Structure 1
Amino acid sequence: MDFAGAYSWPNLSFILQGFGVTLIVAGLSIVFSFILGTILGILRFTRFPLLTQVLAVIIDLIRGLPLLLIIFSIYIVLPQIGIKLSPFWSTIAGLTLFEGAMISEIVRGGLASVDRGQIEAARSSGLGYIQTMRHIILPQALRRMVPPLVSQFISLLKDTSLAIVISLPEIMHNVQILQGHSPNYVIPALLLAALLFFAVNYTLSIIARKLEARRI
């Protein structure tokens, strides 16, 4: 093991640059998947049997596929029909699709946990469905969804490493490149990568616990 060589400024900068890509991909995927998951979750919560059943089949199908397969398929298959995405956007598209399906179930469960009596009371007071959802149901549901959402976001951050299969220059890809330069760099580089992932994920878990304690 060569810690001095692995942590020399050029190598250290290379690893941190990869982690920067990881954070950007994770951040954009979190935003997009949350938007997609919220929309799908609300649609599944509505009382339209045909719509909810169709969405349930699609969401279950996506959730049942390996994320690695989804990312690889987007990168390889879409160009066959004229849609070519870079490794960066292929990863974001795959994570958004997969995590959006996961988040939709969290959103649907959060909405379902709110007492139906509140919906009926809001509607009887003259509020429309959208107003009821926006002002009465969603604020309560979102507070209950915080812990599982943060857990899902932590999983998303870790799942960015799967993009190594399409050569996205994220942290694990850069660690692999360092291995090619010297096998003695592998363990130090992996230890640093693990520390960086742990620091971000542990911070997110602390935030989730504090938000949950405040809600209680």
Structure 2
Amino acid sequence: MWQILTNNWSAFLTGFWNTILCSIIALIFSLILGVLFALLEVAPPKFGRVVAHIYIEVFRNIPLLVIVMMFYLIVPTFFVKLSGFQAGTIGLTLYTSAFIAETVRSGIKSIGDGQMEGARSNGMTYTQAMRYVILPQAMKIVIPPLGNQFINLIKNSSVLAFVAGFDLMYQAQLIAFASFQTIDTYVVVGIFYLILTLPLSYYMRHLEKKLAD
């Protein structure tokens, strides 16, 4: 196993960096999109609720690989050319944002109606009440499930291997094919994924306990 790691250190490091980069980009934008569509889903205008519902149901119920392949094969055919890394990151972002939207929506719905009514009676607009009163409370509630979504996002980034995204799994496939040491190669890759996910898992637990105090 160590021989595989030392002989292919540069390839593993490249894959590790690309996995981190993809995960960070997808995490940031999926969180932004998820919160945005969650807010639309609970907003008074019916049109916004319909748009948000369609977005969430579509991207939550199509397999991630299919979404990524759409951006890798179909979008370049009719619109703009995308690299495997770009297609994979966009697909991962849209897929994860749908689950985040449902998570945040559930958190918002768990806040009693009296909170909104109280804020509005004190002169706040709907937007102000949602921003300063409802959403901060909801985000505290959804920290644990959001943490799970972020961890799943990192693991799901392995989908880049199917579109030559140069992530950890893609590099592992090349190394395993060249060395014929499949087991050792994927053990090393598993360790790299643990290096990414375990600290995040422990941090989310710590944050959950801190917010509960």
**Bin of the TM-score, shorter chain as denominator length:** over 0.9
- Alpha carbons 2:172, 2:185 under 8 Å: kept: yes
1:127 to 124, 127, 132: 124
Instruction: Find the counterpart in structure 2 of residue 207 from structure 1.
Output: 203
Instruction: Find the counterpart in structure 1 of residue 3 from structure 2.
Output: 5
Instruction: Please report the TM-score for the alignment, with normalisation by the length of structure 2.
Output: 0.95
Instruction: Find the counterpart in structure 1 of residue 83 from structure 2.
Output: 86
Query: How much does 1:12 deviate?
Result: 1.7
Identical amino acids, percent of aligned pairs: 33
Distance 1:88 1:73 in 2: 13
Instruction: Find the counterpart in structure 2 of residue 27 from structure 1.
Output: 24
Query: How much does 1:89 deviate?
Result: 1.1
Instruction: Find the counterpart in structure 1 of residue 186 from structure 2.
Output: 190
CA deviations over 1:2-22 (Å, ceiling 9, x no partner) = x353122x4022112101100
Instruction: Find the counterpart in structure 1 of residue 63 from structure 2.
Output: 66
Instruction: Find the counterpart in structure 1 of residue 106 from structure 2.
Output: 109
1:75 to 72, 79, 104: 72
Q: How many residues in Structure 1 have an aligned counterpart in Structure 2?
A: 212
- Alpha carbons 2:108, 2:138 under 8 Å: kept: yes
Stretches of structure 2 that go unaligned for 5 or more consecutive residues are: none
SS of residue in 2 equivalent to 1:7: helix
Distance 2:195 2:12 in 1: 15
Instruction: Please report the TM-score for the alignment, with normalisation by the length of structure 1.
Output: 0.93
Stretches of structure 1 that go unaligned for 5 or more consecutive residues are: none
Distance 1:4 1:56, change over 3 A: closer
